[in-house]
Amino acid sequence: MATATFDFTNGYVTVTVKTVTPGILAPGFHGLHVHEIGKCEPNSVAPAGGPPGNFLSAGGHLQAPGHTGKPESGDLTSLEVRQDGSAYLVTTTDAFTRDQLLGPNKTALMLHGAEGGDMAMSMERVACGVIGPA
């Protein structure tokens, strides 16, 4: 669906996300977040329990040690998918480190449904990828 790279320089990370095949994602803005656990299991249960759902195994948004409040450490800029279904995003943050992304539980990059009038769709987890070393 898409590729993502994380480049760490001078205390910042540059995150680049690019669709591989246009037309899979619905046009519009899609929430993009780093989640706390590197598991991307469809129809899975969240670490805290509850009913199963898409990629709930990845847990909630990453919150780096010592960071509190909103936005959470894993909150990234939304990915805007164009009308032809393609997207390309470059964004930077200093909210987490390489070691925090690759820690014992690893982390995952989560893409949510298109934002708009349907709040349930914008919260839906539509794509997930475990973050690992290159």
The predicted model scores a pTM of 0.91
Chain mean pLDDT for the chain: 91
Domains of the chain: total: 1
Range of 113's domain?
2-131
List pLDDT tens digits, range 94-104.
999 999 999 89
Residue 14's domain is classified under what CATH number? Answer: 2.60.40.200
Task: Provide mean pLDDT across the span 15-22.
Answer: 91
Residue 118 in this model has a pLDDT that exceeds 80: no
HSE toward the beta carbon, residue 122, CA cutoff 13 A? 12
DSSP-based three-state secondary structure for 103: coil
Output the DSSP codes for 46-92. -TT--S-BTTGGG-SB---TT--SSS-TTB-PPEEEPTTS--EEEEE
Quickly state the pLDDT bin for 120 (edges 50, 70, 90).
Answer: low
Distance CA 2, CA 92 (A): 18
Residue 112 in this model has a pLDDT that exceeds 80: yes
List pLDDT tens digits, range 24-49.
888 999 999 999 999 999 999 999 99
Quickly state the pLDDT bin for 23 (edges 50, 70, 90).
Answer: confident
Most confidently predicted of 7-11, 64-68, 118-122:
7-11
**Which strands form 2-9's sheet, in the order they lie side by side?**
2-9, 12-19, 88-93
101: enclosing H helix or E strand? helix 98-101
Distance CA 94, CA 90 (A): 14
Residue 122 in this model has a pLDDT that exceeds 70: no
